[in-house]
Amino acid sequence: MSDTKSNENDRPKVKINTIDENNHDQRIDNYLMAQLKGVPKGRIYNLLRKGEIRVNKKRVKPDTRIYSGDIVRIAPIVVEPPKEVSAVPQKLMQIIESRIVYEDAGLIVVNKPSGLAVHGGSGLNFGLVEVVRQLRTKEKSIELVHRLDRDTSGLIMISKKRSVLKQLHAALRDKEGVQKTYQALVYGSWPKRKLQVNAPLLKNELKSGERVVKVHTDGKESLTRFKLLRQFEGYSLVECEPVTGRTHQIRVHTLHAGYPIVGDDKYSPSEQNKEAKALGFKRLCLHAAKLDIMLNDQRILVEAPIDDEWRNAMNKNLTGIY
């Protein structure tokens, strides 16, 4: 075979995929990211915008849902070979194994430590999901169900089956079947009567790629419910239930209410954070404390307390009022 013919055979070709039950009722962007591993997310969005990826011969947006029987046409695209998976330190694997608080045939719930990203990327070789994949090498469908900010600790769901991932995504989208409850230590005296913040949130991305969210009339509807748990001199421990699931929602809603979260380097005043660090609060004091899940007609209730370092700093260095 000539070099010319060989090169022609190596060139990427148009792909025509028929959607089956495994990918029924999925967003097209999520489907493409699974199909085109190695292709940056921004490039996939660009291909959709240019109409080089079509569903049933029509242009579609990233949030378009695909269903069984749909025909997806993917224009020729060079896919980089998958990078070699970075070895996760044994100590970290042991830590995460010890922090698995629930597991069954289709679901894992991990009490993620603060400081660990949920997935690799942006200079990180690995995150929580990569650790879990190396802990459960026999499972081939391990995926994040939702996300937590890197510096937020607490409960996060990881699916082991595509069917479970679909059910939980639907539950989160429909706001029925999954209830998340957080705890946050905030600056100031949170009023007992302050039970919710209902303020639209607008997400901006700076040139550096950093995401910043603010309350804005052009933003998406956002609602968080609150309950005062304990009050200290100059600080309050509050329970937070995000009804909607916007980026940085709790962090921005507490700021909007006038009570920013302790240790929040993005949204809290730096002088206050400096004082808090001197008291032992060396992290973002936001923790996903409880998950109430309905899955396959079974109720799964999982709880995880705030970590010892945070609790000890709060109990030893703050003066309790309520």
Same domain, 154 and 186: no
Asked if 125 and 86 touch (Cβ cutoff 8 Å), the reply is yes
Same domain, 191 and 107: no
Q: Is residue 46 part of a domain?
A: yes
CATH number of the domain where residue 41 is located? 3.10.290.10
Same domain, 181 and 149: no
Same domain, 229 and 307: yes
How far, in Å, CA of 59 to CA of 238, rounded? 46
Same domain, 111 and 20: no
pLDDT above 60: residue 16: yes
pLDDT above 90: residue 119: no
Same domain, 47 and 157: no
Q: Is residue 181 part of a domain?
A: yes
How high is the pLDDT of residue 6? 46
Residue predicted with more confidence, 106 or 23: 106
How far, in Å, CA of 202 to CA of 279, rounded? 33
Same domain, 250 and 313: yes
Could you say which of 139, 163, 187 is where a domain stops? Answer: 163
pLDDT per residue as tens digits for the range 217-237: 999 999 999 999 999 999 999
CATH number of the domain where residue 148 is located? 3.30.2350.10
| pTM: predicted TM-score of the whole model, two decimal places | 0.79
Same domain, 98 and 199: no
Name the residue among 287, 298, 63 with its Cα closest to residue 177: 298
Same domain, 68 and 197: no
Q: Is residue 195 part of a domain?
A: yes
Q: Is 307 a catalytic residue?
A: no
pLDDT per residue as tens digits for the range 152-167: 999 999 999 988 998 9
How high is the pLDDT of residue 13? 80
Name the residue among 279, 281, 286, 227 with its Cα closest to residue 252: 286
- 149, 151, 174, 308: the catalytic one is 149
Say how many domains are in the chain: 3
- With a CB cutoff of 8 Å and minimum separation 6, the contacts of 216 are 200, 201, 202
Could you tell me what percent of the chain has a pLDDT over 90?
A: 65
How high is the pLDDT of residue 75? 85
Same domain, 103 and 184: no
Query: What domain range includes position 51?
Result: 3-74
Same domain, 188 and 147: no
Same domain, 290 and 198: yes
